[in-house]
Amino acid sequence: MKAHFSSEQISRWMAGDPTPDEVQHIRECAQCAAEAARLDSLLAEFRSSVVAWSAIHKAAEAPERWKPLQQRGRVVRGALRWTMAAAALTIAVTLPICKNVNDRRHEAEEFRADARLWEEVNDQISRPVPSSLEPLMRLVAWEPDASQK
Amino acid sequence: MQAAVESSRVGLEDFDEVVRLYWQCVHRFILASTRDADAAQTLTQDCFLRAYFARGAFRCQANVKTWLMHIAVNLVRDFGRNRRLQFWKRLNASATNPGDVGDHLPAAAVSPEDQALLKEQVQIVWQASQSLPRRQRTVFLLRFVEEMDILEIAAATGMKEGTVKTHLFRALQAVRKRLGGSK
């Protein structure tokens, strides 16, 4: 009987790449067959553990309904439409308010300008002589205290 | 197993059925490869999205699972490349704890001592598979978790049959070395 399998031969057997001699040997050698079976069993347990471990993750469950990008695109387009409608509504509401505030500011400025003009007119009207004759009036003005001195 | 039986019948006409049948195995493979729950969720969705848009190019003689796994393998590879640059993403990623796997051994009719030993060995296999080079890990997971045969793995990874066997052999050698197997 040939020598038992080496580590490489066991691995090659498990990798599914045995030579015809190795196939023949494992049929005849209970010890090597047991070693291969032991490794096979361990890898089966490994598989079961990974399957059970991955199944506890939330994303492991298949979605109820598959939604590819086209349907997502529809959702995105719908959302975009709602966003644009909301933006238009916001503009429609805020624009008159802004306009009203501007109008009021403009009215206040006009009122102040009118008031200033009115004051200037009043000043002009209340003068005894026109402003161009005021120097002459100062020359002819009689000041009793000044002449006595 | 049920998915394997049904896979021969299902085409891509009913994509909801494809999702129902293969979502779990695609997610499981990606999760075991990346060990990142968030990435696994995103990449699984991405995998089915790509499959959906490329379903016209799918050849009926190919296996749907193999085809989906081919997409998943490429996504995991790209994720590994991008991940090296994404330091902040790595910090925030909810990386799974590799120690979790050993806690999910199915209840078996063995003594507590044997159960503890088995748990320890499964844990070692899990950790050893994590430290394997990317290609070896991919081949190892496809063979021993997804139970795909050599030809299916070759189709899913785009490798030659001999290359798959070589990677599998090296992966098994590394795992057995970690297990302390000397025979």
How large is the ipTM?
Answer: 0.81
Q: Is residue A95 part of a domain?
A: yes
Label residue B147 left, alpha or beta by phi (over 0 means left) and psi (-120 to 50 means alpha): left
Pairwise CA distance, residues B133 & B128, whole Å: 10
The answer to whether B53 contacts A68, with C-beta atoms less than 8 Å apart, is yes
Q: Tell me: the pLDDT tens digits for A73-86?
A: 555 667 788 889 99
Do A42 and A1 share a structural domain? yes
Phi-psi group of B158: left, alpha or beta (phi > 0 → left; psi -120 to 50 → alpha; rest → beta): left
Check if the beta carbon of residue A4 is closer than 8 Å to that of residue B177. no
pTM of the full structure:
0.67
Give yes or no for residue B27 having a pLDDT over 50.
yes
Instruction: Answer yes or no: is pLDDT of A101 > 80.
Output: yes
The answer to whether residue A137 is domain-embedded is: no
Task: State whether residue B86 sits within 8 Å of chain A by CB.
Answer: no
Query: Rounded to whole angstroms, what are the CA distances from B183 to A78, A149, B172?
Result: 65, 142, 13
Is A19 within the bounds of a domain? Answer: yes
Question: Is A92 inside a domain boundary?
Answer: yes
The whole-number pLDDT of residue B182 equals 40
Q: pLDDT band at residue B54, thresholds of 50, 70 and 90? A: confident
Tell me what the pLDDT averaged over chain B comes to.
81
- Domain containing residue A3: 1-55
| Cβ atoms A47, B125 nearer than 8 A | no
The residues near B151 (Cβ < 8 Å, ≥ 6 apart) are B161
Question: Is residue A93 in some structural domain?
Answer: yes
A49, A91: one domain: no
Co-location of A1 and A35 in the same domain: yes
On whether any CB of chain A is under 8 Å from the CB of B182, the answer is yes
The mean pLDDT value of chain A amounts to 82
Say if CB B74 and CB B51 are below 8 A apart: no
**How confident is the model at residue B61, as a pLDDT?**
61
Give the per-residue pLDDT at B140: 96
A68 in any annotated domain? no
Q: Is residue A70 in a domain?
A: no
- B113-152: pLDDT as tens digits: 888 888 888 989 999 998 999 999 999 999 999 999 999 9
DSSP element (H, E) containing B149: none
Helix axes B37-53, B15-34, angle to 10 degrees: 140
Give yes or no: residues A50 and A94 share one domain: no
Judge whether B113 is closer than 8 Å to chain A, CB to CB.
Answer: no
For residues A43 and A93, membership in a common domain is answered with: no
Q: A17 or B78: which carries more pLDDT confidence?
A: B78
Q: What is the pLDDT of residue B98?
A: 45
| DSSP labels, B7-65 | HTT--SSSHHHHHHHHHHHHHHHHHHHH-BHHHHHHHHHHHHHHHHHTGGG--TTS-HH
Over residues A102-124, mean pLDDT: 89
- Number of folded domains that form chain A: 2
What pLDDT score was predicted for residue B95?
54
Give Rg (Cα) of chain B: 17
Kindly report which listed range (A14-18, A143-147, B133-137) carries the lowest average pLDDT score: A143-147
Maximum separation of any 2 CA atoms in chain B, in Å: 54
pLDDT at site B8: 47
In a domain, A11, yes or no: yes
pLDDT value for A88: 92
Q: Which chain B residues have a beta carbon less than 8 Å from that of A29?
A: none
